[in-house]
């Protein structure tokens, strides 16, 4: 079937993938837009995995303030070369991550960073709740793990749903950008401040 330039352009805008990749994805999926997006996401994951070991020591510190200065974010995003660090696409990605942090207030970049005692406390709270709700003993462990997973989805940046497209996580959005930019990209660290917050918040 023939694929129109307009369809290719729409797919490129949505996924950030290259022209030929979008054309092939649409051809392989017989023009089915959702299948084409899925095809490109899978390809992005594969390409991101190949690049994961490459050193990323260039990048930017993206600063963002929101709500007339009531919320401020600083995030460090790394890539492999200074050329990419200065590119519009990379800067846009860094800005989107700062927006995400401002909007959804994650506490950690990845789940590996969550202190063991925090997870233990969440498990205790979830277990206590399940018991109070009268759940059967045999399903309590499964309920506890489900609630801990929800906690991670809420507070781990890479597990959060992307604010502009809740069908994908920030991890998937990162992989899409690694695939389309062609370099390893790492969300290194961030800080988020809100007016009136205490240092324990």
Whether 201 is in a domain gets the answer: no
Give the separation between CA 94 and CA 77, rounded to whole angstroms.
6
Our CA angle for 98, 102, 104, nearest 5°, is: 115
Residue 50, pLDDT score = 58
Q: Looking only at Cα atoms, what is the longest distance across the chain?
A: 60
Whether 100 is in a domain gets the answer: yes
Q: Are residues 105 and 168 in the same domain?
A: yes
Whether 42 is in a domain gets the answer: yes
Q: Are residues 82 and 173 in the same domain?
A: yes
Whether 122 is in a domain gets the answer: yes
Burial class (CB in 10 A: 0-12, 13-18, 19+), 136: exposed
Question: pLDDT per residue over 13-51, tens digit each?
Answer: 776 666 777 888 888 888 888 888 787 777 665 555 555
Q: Are residues 73 and 134 in the same domain?
A: no
Model confidence at 107: pLDDT above 70:
yes
The residue with greater pLDDT, 12 or 59, is: 59
Residue 10, pLDDT score = 83
Alpha-helical (H) ranges within the chain are 5-15, 19-28, 33-51, 82-85, 88-104, 116-132, 137-155, 170-181
Give the separation between CA 88 and CA 91, rounded to whole angstroms.
5
Domain count for the chain, please give it.
3
Rounded mean pLDDT, 140-155: 94
Whether 200 is in a domain gets the answer: no
Question: pLDDT per residue over 150-159, tens digit each?
Answer: 999 999 999 9
Q: Are residues 161 and 99 in the same domain?
A: yes
Q: What CATH number should be reported for the domain holding residue 15? A: 1.10.8.10
For 138, other C-beta atoms within 10 Å of its C-beta total 7
Model confidence at 56: pLDDT above 50:
yes
Q: Are residues 149 and 164 in the same domain?
A: no
Whether 174 is in a domain gets the answer: yes
Q: Measured between alpha carbons, how far is residue 161 from residues 43, 59, 71 in Å? A: 20, 24, 20
Residue 200, pLDDT score = 47
Domain with 138, as residue range(s), is: 115-154
Rounded mean pLDDT, 96-111: 97
Task: For residue 176, give every residue at least 6 positions away whose Cβ sits within 8 Å of its Cβ, in sequence order, or none.
Answer: 15, 16, 17, 40, 41, 44, 168
Q: What CATH number should be reported for the domain holding residue 90? A: 3.30.479.20
Average pLDDT, the chain: 87
Angle between helices 116-132 and 137-155 (to 10 degrees): 130
Q: Are residues 103 and 185 in the same domain?
A: yes
Note whether 144 and 130 are within 8 A (CB). Answer: yes
């Amino acid at each position: 079937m023939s694929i129109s330039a307009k369809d290719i352009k729409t797919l490129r805008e949505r996924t950030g993938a290259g022209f030929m990749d979008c054309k092939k994805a649409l051809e392989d999926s017989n023009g089915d837009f959702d299948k084409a997006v899925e095809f490109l996401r899978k390809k992005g994951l594969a390409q991101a995995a190949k690049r994961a070991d490459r050193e990323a020591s260039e990048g930017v510190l993206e600063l963002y303030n929101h709500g007339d200065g009531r919320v401020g974010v600083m995030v460090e995003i790394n890539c492999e070369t200074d050329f990419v660090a200065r590119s519009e696409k990379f800067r846009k990605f860094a800005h989107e991550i700062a927006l995400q942090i401002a909007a959804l207030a994650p506490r950690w970049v990845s789940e590996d960073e969550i202190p063991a005692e925090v997870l233990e406390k969440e498990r205790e709270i979830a277990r206590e709740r399940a018991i109070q709700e009268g759940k059967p003993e045999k399903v309590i462990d499964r309920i506890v793990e489900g609630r801990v997973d929800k906690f991670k989805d809420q507070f781990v940046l890479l597990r959060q749903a992307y604010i502009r497209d809740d069908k994908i996580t920030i991890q998937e959005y990162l992989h899409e950008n690694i695939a389309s930019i062609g370099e390893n990209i790492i969300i290194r660290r961030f800080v988020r401040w809100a007016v009136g917050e205490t240092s324990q918040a």
